Amino acid sequence: MLIVENKAINPLISPKPSEAKPDTELESLRIWGKHPLSGHVHISGAKNSVLAIMAGALLCPQHCRLRNVPSLADIAKMRQVLEALGVKIERHNDTLELDTSHLSTSKAPYDLVSQLRASFFVTGPLLTRLGTARVPLPGGCAIGARPVDLHVRGLQAMGAEVHIEHGIVHADIRGSGGRLKGAKIYLDYPSVGATETLLMAATLADGETIIENAAQEPEVEDLANFCRAMGAKIRGAGTNTITIVGVPNLHSVDYGIIPDRIEAGTFLVAGAITHSEISISPVIPEHLTPVIAKLKDIGSEIVLDGPNRLRIIPGELRATDIETLPYPGFPTDMQAQLMALLTLAEGNSVVTETVFENRMRHVAELVRMGADIRIKGQNAIIRGVSHLSGAPVLATDLRASAALVLAGLAAEGETLVQGLHHLDRGYDDLETKLKGLGAKVQRVSP
């Protein structure tokens, strides 16, 4: 008998069809650990760039082509949100064709937005293009409350009237020629989402907008480069001060998405945790600076094997401390994966999560595999153990699922990672890529 979330579930008895959840939620990944990896793995386009850029396409009343778009559940969901707004979308392999010339509504559908937080990114573009937006509050998720107060306050500073009614954000531009007004906005926290919302809203505003204490993540810079390719006037993206001079309209574009630094970091950890030498590309090495620095502290060597190719050479695992911070600090989206690695490092490590208040849910599952971790507030104190042992574990969010897969690759025996719908949200065909490196993994359905 298997205990999942304190409920006794017999994996042999599948739930009655009416209760059946979408397949991937019930799918699991079976991993036979302790197999060395080798070879090269291709890194897909960045999820967190594509999601914002798909929303950004709403700014342009013409046609956008996006290249290097990964196949992810989140991107399929964002597509549904845009199609519900009247966008015509076609996909050809990793290229998306978006025709945004005829938007039929400024109301984003509740059921879809409630399933994908990132769909809140349509608010800024809808408001600045149409003068009005009706978007459900995204609500919290497994890793935290995740309010959107900074988005709302920034839009209000640009002259929008914004109020929340029945869980829906109502945003309108009244008077002033139907355009937002440029403004100086200081963000209390360098929020990625708020920076992206305000950057997009400012592209069509009347006048100059300055976003101070802006997020500096590479995905913010990628969004700014996409908007500039459409004719937007933007300076300073990738720094903590971004200046946008509004233009009357934007034009169509053909744009390539940057590689996913979090997927890349996850595979580097796969090499370190299985003591395997593997290479990854394409990557932009600078985007991985904080991750590479920590992997070196832990004992791995990372070499540049070409302009956009990295190779990890494993070493004995040494304990180290990690604190997550906004970019260029250590990314919170790599915290769980590095924690899985540190469970096998010689000595005591402390991992401190400062960005999200509830992003340690993978700890209990790693402990189920034999890790020695105690949580004190936002700190996880990890005592390295000699080995992990395979077990049935449950993924609770996207990066937690990646950490459990990595632990399973290093563990003795068999691990069964359940809740693969989390993994499918952000990893493009992970098991095929792992098999390509020689891992013994298999996706199993109930």
Q: Which residues, in sequence order, are CB contacts of 60 under 8 Å at separation 6+?
A: 100, 230, 249, 250, 251, 252, 253
Query: C-beta of 414: minimal distance to ligand EPZ in Å?
Result: 27
**Closest to ligand EPZ by CB, 194 or 270:** 194
Contact, 310 vs 288, CB < 8 A? yes
Query: C-beta of 35: minimal distance to ligand EPZ in Å?
Result: 27
**Total site size for ligand EPZ, rule CB under 6 A:** 26
**Closest to ligand EPZ by CB, 128 or 335:** 335
Query: C-beta of 104: minimal distance to ligand EPZ in Å?
Result: 25
The 390-409 contact track toward ligand EPZ, x by CB under 6 A, reads --------xx----------
The 217-236 contact track toward ligand EPZ, x by CB under 6 A, reads x-x-----------------
Long-range CB contact pairs, 80-87, < 8 A, 24+: 80/112, 81/108, 81/109, 81/112, 81/113, 81/116, 81/119, 81/122, 82/54, 82/55, 82/57, 82/58, 82/122, 84/108, 84/109, 84/112, 85/58, 85/122, 85/126, 87/57, 87/58
Task: State the chain's maximal CA–CA distance in angstroms.
Answer: 67
How far is the C-alpha of 88 from the C-alpha of 84, rounded, in Å?
Answer: 9
Distances (CA, A) of 270 to 340, 398, 407: 10, 16, 9
Token duo for residue 290: 């904080």
DSSP class per residue in 305-329:
EETTEEEEE----B---EEB-STTS
Q: What is the DSSP letter of 428?
A: T
Question: E strands within 38-141?
Answer: 39-42, 63-67, 88-92, 95-99, 132-136
Q: Which amino acid is at 207?
A: G
Q: Does 51 bind ligand EPZ (CB under 6 A)?
A: yes
Find the binder of ligand EPZ among 182, 314, 370, 426 (CB under 6 A).
426
**Known catalytic membership, residue 227:** no
Residues between 19 and 48 that touch ligand EPZ (CB under 6 A): 48
Query: C-beta of 33: minimal distance to ligand EPZ in Å?
Result: 24
Query: C-beta of 51: minimal distance to ligand EPZ in Å?
Result: 5
- Closest-CA residue to 264 (of 250, 284, 245): 284
Of all residues in the shown chain, the one whose CB is closest to ligand EPZ is 193
Residues between 338 and 397 that touch ligand EPZ (CB under 6 A): 355-356
Q: Which amino acid is at 394?
A: L
Q: Does 191 bind ligand EPZ (CB under 6 A)?
A: yes
How far is the C-alpha of 351 from the C-alpha of 360, rounded, in Å?
Answer: 10
Q: Does 332 bind ligand EPZ (CB under 6 A)?
A: yes
How far is the C-alpha of 75 from the C-alpha of 77, rounded, in Å?
Answer: 5
Annotated binding-site residues for phosphoenolpyruvate read 47-48
Annotated binding-site residues for UDP-N-acetyl-alpha-D-glucosamine read 117, 146-150, 333, 355
Query: C-beta of 198: minimal distance to ligand EPZ in Å?
Result: 10
Q: Does 146 bind ligand EPZ (CB under 6 A)?
A: yes
Residues between 108 and 127 that touch ligand EPZ (CB under 6 A): 118
Give the phi and the psi of residue 198 in degrees, each rounded to 5: -75, -35
Q: Which amino acid is at 370?
A: G
Query: C-beta of 2: minimal distance to ligand EPZ in Å?
Result: 27
**Closest to ligand EPZ by CB, 89 or 194:** 194
The stretch among 140-148, 276-284, 294-302, 400-408 that binds ligand EPZ (CB under 6 A) is: 140-148
The stretch among 28-36, 145-153, 243-251, 263-271 that binds ligand EPZ (CB under 6 A) is: 145-153
The stretch among 85-93, 187-195, 340-348, 360-368 that binds ligand EPZ (CB under 6 A) is: 187-195
Q: Does 149 bind ligand EPZ (CB under 6 A)?
A: yes
Annotated binding-site residues read 47-48, 117, 146-150, 333, 355
- Measure CA 418 to chain center: 20
How far is the C-alpha of 43 from the C-alpha of 133, rounded, in Å?
Answer: 35
Q: Does 147 bind ligand EPZ (CB under 6 A)?
A: yes
Q: Does 254 bind ligand EPZ (CB under 6 A)?
A: no
The stretch among 24-32, 89-97, 156-164, 186-194 that binds ligand EPZ (CB under 6 A) is: 186-194
Token duo for residue 297: 């502290």
Catalytic residues: 141
Which residues make up the interface to ligand EPZ (CB under 6 A)? Answer: 48, 51, 118, 144-151, 189, 191-194, 215, 217, 219, 332-333, 355-356, 398-399, 426
